[in-house]
Amino acid sequence: MNQSDKSFTGSIPELYDNYLVPLIFEAYANDLADRAAAPAPKTVLETAAGTGVVTRALAPRLASGARYTVTDLNQPMLDHAAIKQGGDNRITWSQADALDLPFNDASFDAVVCQFAVMFFPDRVAGYAEALRVLKPGGSFIFNVWDHIEANEFAHVVTEAAASIFPDDPPRFLARTPHGYHDLDLIRDELGKAGFSQIVITTLEETSSAPSPRHVAVAYCQGTPLRNEIENRDASLLGQVTDRAAEAIAARFGDGPVAGKIRAHIVAAASTSSFP
């Protein structure tokens, strides 16, 4: 993973939240929130919360006396999430590294993490930290994208960007968000971290947008793909976005568009208790 893969700065958080969240993240956030809330946890930790799409879905599902700690390594994303969430005295916002959590052992009933473990520089260490802060019987619930070909918009945008930079194609989407889909590898790394009970469910959804350009802006300007494009030639960001919009329109039509998305939802625990 390139260092720029983890850089959600500048205008990316706002574009991410306004364009990409409704495009691909909301349905899976609701699914994750349902799973996390099902056993009525009293203490919840969210790692790598981003702009707070899971926070906004999960908080209303938790009991009035629950304690919800929301963390992210990237302070601009966390600030954006807190502003979007509004006042909630159950929630504590804290900048924290998922690989080095500043919490005591056995502090939480559940740890949740949406589409972020792919960015961990050491996933086994991140999983071990989740296990360390879980109470006995607690659950670690997270999701990851399936391979890029199973996620149509991301695949089309990646191919469009490659057509602008054929000698050095930007591969952020394929490399990182969609680069951790091997279920055997996921189970193996969770096992190395100490988890003994693992259940993985594959969930396919439909991604919808009001226009092809919405999709193009979401991916080209609301993710670190933008960093890759600008590192090659910042003056071509608009051209890549236009090319991606044209490619989406050519495949899915000029009006409102819909494409297939697919992800894996993982529940891991040191016991047999699952949501």
Q: Which long-range contacts (CB under 8 A, 24 or more apart) does 226-229 make?
A: 226/12, 227/4, 227/5, 227/7, 227/172, 228/2, 228/4, 228/161, 228/170, 228/171, 228/172, 229/161, 229/165, 229/170
**Pairing between strand 257-269 and 134-145?**
antiparallel
271/206 Cα distance (integer angstroms): 34
How high is the pLDDT of residue 241?
98
The closest alpha carbon to 50, from 34, 28, 35, 65, belongs to 28
Based on its alpha-carbon atoms, the radius of gyration of the chain, rounded to whole angstroms, reads 18
How high is the pLDDT of residue 1?
52
pLDDT < 70 stretches in the chain = 1-13, 271-275
Asked whether 160 and 237 are in contact (CB, 8 A), the reply is no
How high is the pLDDT of residue 2?
52
- What DSSP line would sit under 109-138, residue for residue? EEEEEES-GGG-SSHHHHHHHHHHHEEEEE
Domain ranges of the chain: 3-269
253/123 Cα distance (integer angstroms): 39
Taking the CA atoms of residue 94, residue 100, residue 106 and residue 109 in that order, the dihedral angle to the nearest 10 degrees is 50
The closest alpha carbon to 228, from 147, 275, 182, 162, belongs to 162
How high is the pLDDT of residue 12?
65
The sign one gets for the Cα dihedral 15, 18, 24, 26 is: positive
The closest alpha carbon to 112, from 56, 33, 200, belongs to 33
- Helix, strand, coil percentages (3-state) for the chain, rounded to 5, are 50, 25, 30
The sign one gets for the Cα dihedral 37, 101, 187, 118 is: positive
Please list, in sequence order, all residues whose beta carbon lies within 8 angstroms of the beta carbon of residue 152, skipping any fewer than 6 positions away: 207, 251, 252, 259, 260, 261
Secondary-structure class of domain 3-269 per CATH: alpha beta
How high is the pLDDT of residue 148?
98
